[in-house]
Amino acid sequence: MSEILYHREGLLGPRIELHIAPEGLTLVGRGGAGSAEFAPLADVAGVSAAPMGRKATVTISFGSARSAWVIRGMHPSVAEWVERLVTEEQSAVAKLASPQHNRRLSVDEITRTCSEIVADADGRAAVDLADLILAQAVLHGASDVHFDPFSERVVVRFRQDGVLQDVVTLDGGVKQRLTSRLKVVSHLATFKNAVAQEGRAALKIGGRTVDFRFSSIPTIHGEKVTARVFDPARSIFDVGKLGMTAEMLSLFVSMLMQPQGTILLTGPAGSGKTTTMYAALSYLHEHKRNLSSLATVEDPVEYDLQVVNQTQVNNASGLTFANALRTVLRQDPEVIMIGEIRDRETADIATQAGLTGHMVLSTVHARSAAGVLLRLVDLGVEPFLVASSVTAVLSQRLVRAVCANCAREYAPSGEESGRFRLKGGERLQMGAGCEQCNNTGYVGRTGIFQLAPISDTMREMLLRRSSLNDLEGQLENEQTGTLLADGTLKAAAGVTSLEELSRVLG
């Protein structure tokens, strides 16, 4: 029985899986896969493995507790292959940790560096391009990187502050190799190009380990690869940094601290709902005395919150939102976050839980705060249950913040003053565009909100089955504010611009 011990001190973070499938072994031409004999891996902290046989897929997980990887009883030819793979990966990670990848380059510099890499083509062009682009995406604070294939070129785009920006256009000659490299990095099957695939990778950039979630889908011009960036430096969840006014924040946390109730968030995809819920959980963890437990049911789990029991929905294995929620509730958590309510069962269980000693946080797809309540009724929840369980609805959007480096004060036009009901005297700002904001005039984002506590009048109206219009009118009477009013307040303070509010609110 041979034993190989790889020390991977701090190189890779948790949740990294390396799938070594027999076809993968054949593909890289190391041979020996067919005759390989696998024995079960020893159970070591941080290392787990599926039962292995001649044809089994070996899954090795790197735990966060121990940065060691132990493989026992592996056929020598396979062991040699694995060793080589690890060495290659270590050098790739070490390379990303080098100083040139810790400095944010301007878009022009990225373009120039990419051309230099392609020009010196020494067989490593694809590796160097992938490293450079992924590292720069992180340094630019991008949330996604898109590699869009066209017939003669590949366009690399970063999503920054919610908006996709073209960064560099590469010649079609590197398309195939770059795609293969990205698939190798993210442990996707390089030989499968007609199916959609998902994979993960962790790379060390700027002194920290950044997770990437990759997906590849076939298009008529080749595979389109996208990578979502999960940067720990951007995952600090603090209710004080969401962008709520002091008054709204104190109302929001006072509702969170109630022993029971249901707080529902609404807003389109990418409007910051998950961040708000994570920030709320972090607040409760820090401030609620004798808090027994916090749990989540999510699809997908976006960040590992460490102090919360997070459950990932898995429809393929029957662990739907409703099933997962039922199971989690048996353990009686004090606070539960549900990624999304989109079916009757989940809606029923969630609203019941909010009435029986749990604080429930979730999201519901609707066009307005009042629409959230009617959406639950449309899903089949009894109006009295909605009326008695829901404490508040928080509607939100994310707006880009004006770049402090190139901000200029300006006077609004008459049309803007009318549309935004400006009183005059506001200090409106607009970014002129500079190197620091990639000429967009914006850096970072902040939330705009409407927080609507559900009043007794609203409850009665729900029981009487009032219309959406009437419910919305009532919220207006109660002066719960609007997204536009909250946004205008932020534009008047120079945080965002009127142009940005128009873009987000339509």
Nearer of residues 26 and 106 to Zn ion, judged by Cβ: 106
* C-alpha to C-alpha distance for 313 and 335, rounded to whole angstroms: 18
At 492, give phi and psi (nearest 5°): -65, -25
Closest approach of Zn ion to the CB of residue 406, in Å:
3
Which stretch, 190-198, 273-281, 288-296, 429-437, contacts Zn ion (CB under 5 A)? 429-437
Q: Give yes or no for a contact between 341 and 376, defined as CB atoms under 8 angstroms apart.
A: yes
Q: Residue 403, interface with Zn ion (CB under 5 A)?
A: yes
Nearer of residues 157 and 400 to Zn ion, judged by Cβ: 400
Tokens of 253: 């946390």
* C-alpha to C-alpha distance for 377 and 396, rounded to whole angstroms: 21
Which stretch, 32-40, 258-266, 393-401, 431-439, contacts Zn ion (CB under 5 A)? 431-439
Q: Residue 434, interface with Zn ion (CB under 5 A)?
A: yes
Which stretch, 108-116, 170-178, 352-360, 428-436, contacts Zn ion (CB under 5 A)? 428-436
- The residue sitting closest to Zn ion, measured at its beta carbon, is 403
Nearer of residues 354 and 441 to Zn ion, judged by Cβ: 441
- Please report where in the chains the tokens 């000659």 appear, as a residue: 173
Closest approach of Zn ion to the CB of residue 440, in Å:
7
Tokens of 203: 């790379």
Q: Residue 107, interface with Zn ion (CB under 5 A)?
A: no
**Residue choice 143, 405, 417, 455 for contact with Zn ion (CB under 5 A):** 405
Nearer of residues 320 and 436 to Zn ion, judged by Cβ: 436
At 179, give phi and psi (nearest 5°): -60, -45
Closest approach of Zn ion to the CB of residue 401, in Å:
11
Closest approach of Zn ion to the CB of residue 487, in Å:
21
Q: Residue 165, interface with Zn ion (CB under 5 A)?
A: no
How far is CA 347 from its chain centroid? 24
- Please report where in the chains the tokens 């062991």 appear, as a residue: 79
Nearer of residues 227 and 403 to Zn ion, judged by Cβ: 403
Closest approach of Zn ion to the CB of residue 438, in Å:
8
Which stretch, 11-19, 29-37, 359-367, 430-438, contacts Zn ion (CB under 5 A)? 430-438
Q: Give yes or no for a contact between 216 and 190, defined as CB atoms under 8 angstroms apart.
A: no
Nearer of residues 147 and 442 to Zn ion, judged by Cβ: 442
Closest approach of Zn ion to the CB of residue 159, in Å:
18
Nearer of residues 295 and 437 to Zn ion, judged by Cβ: 437
Closest approach of Zn ion to the CB of residue 407, in Å:
8
Nearer of residues 64 and 405 to Zn ion, judged by Cβ: 405
Which stretch, 195-203, 220-228, 371-379, 398-406, contacts Zn ion (CB under 5 A)? 398-406
Nearer of residues 111 and 436 to Zn ion, judged by Cβ: 436
Contacts 24+ apart (CB under 8 A), 63-68: 63/14, 64/13, 64/14, 67/7, 67/8, 67/9, 67/10, 67/11, 67/12, 68/5, 68/6, 68/7, 68/8, 68/44
- Please report where in the chains the tokens 């630019």 appear, as a residue: 140
Closest approach of Zn ion to the CB of residue 499, in Å:
14
Q: Give yes or no for a contact between 77 and 32, defined as CB atoms under 8 angstroms apart.
A: yes
Q: Residue 406, interface with Zn ion (CB under 5 A)?
A: yes
> Per-residue string for binding with Zn ion, 437-476, x by CB under 5 A?
x---------------------------------------
User: Residue 61 to residues 64, 87, 489: CA-CA distances in angstroms?
Assistant: 10, 17, 48
Q: Residue 402, interface with Zn ion (CB under 5 A)?
A: no
Sequence-distant (≥ 6) Cβ neighbours of residue 191 within 8 angstroms: 23, 27
Tokens of 442: 């914006």
Q: Residue 430, interface with Zn ion (CB under 5 A)?
A: no
For the chain, the residue count is 506
Which stretch, 70-78, 193-201, 314-322, 435-443, contacts Zn ion (CB under 5 A)? 435-443
Which stretch, 58-66, 327-335, 381-389, 396-404, contacts Zn ion (CB under 5 A)? 396-404
Which stretch, 77-85, 116-124, 245-253, 426-434, contacts Zn ion (CB under 5 A)? 426-434
Report angle CA 482, 484, 485 to the nearest 5 degrees: 65
Q: Give yes or no for a contact between 384 and 376, defined as CB atoms under 8 angstroms apart.
A: no
Closest approach of Zn ion to the CB of residue 107, in Å:
13
Restricted to residues 207-226, the positions that interact with Zn ion (CB under 5 A) are none
Which stretch, 144-152, 207-215, 254-262, 403-411, contacts Zn ion (CB under 5 A)? 403-411
Cα within 13 Å of Cα(18), Cβ side: 19
With b for 16 or more beta-carbon neighbours within 10 A and e for fewer, the 61-80 pattern comes to ebbeeebbbbbbbbbeebbe
Closest approach of Zn ion to the CB of residue 404, in Å:
8
Closest approach of Zn ion to the CB of residue 133, in Å:
22
- Determine if residue 441 is left, alpha or beta; phi over 0 gives left, psi from -120 to 50 gives alpha, anything else beta: left
Restricted to residues 54-83, the positions that interact with Zn ion (CB under 5 A) are none
Tokens of 437: 């904001």
* C-alpha to C-alpha distance for 51 and 59, rounded to whole angstroms: 9
With b for 16 or more beta-carbon neighbours within 10 A and e for fewer, the 375-391 pattern comes to bbbebebebebbbbbbb
User: Residue 268 to residues 33, 362, 395, 495: CA-CA distances in angstroms?
Assistant: 48, 14, 10, 22
Nearer of residues 176 and 405 to Zn ion, judged by Cβ: 405
Closest approach of Zn ion to the CB of residue 435, in Å:
7
Binding site for Zn ion (CB under 5 A): 403, 405-406, 431, 434, 436-437
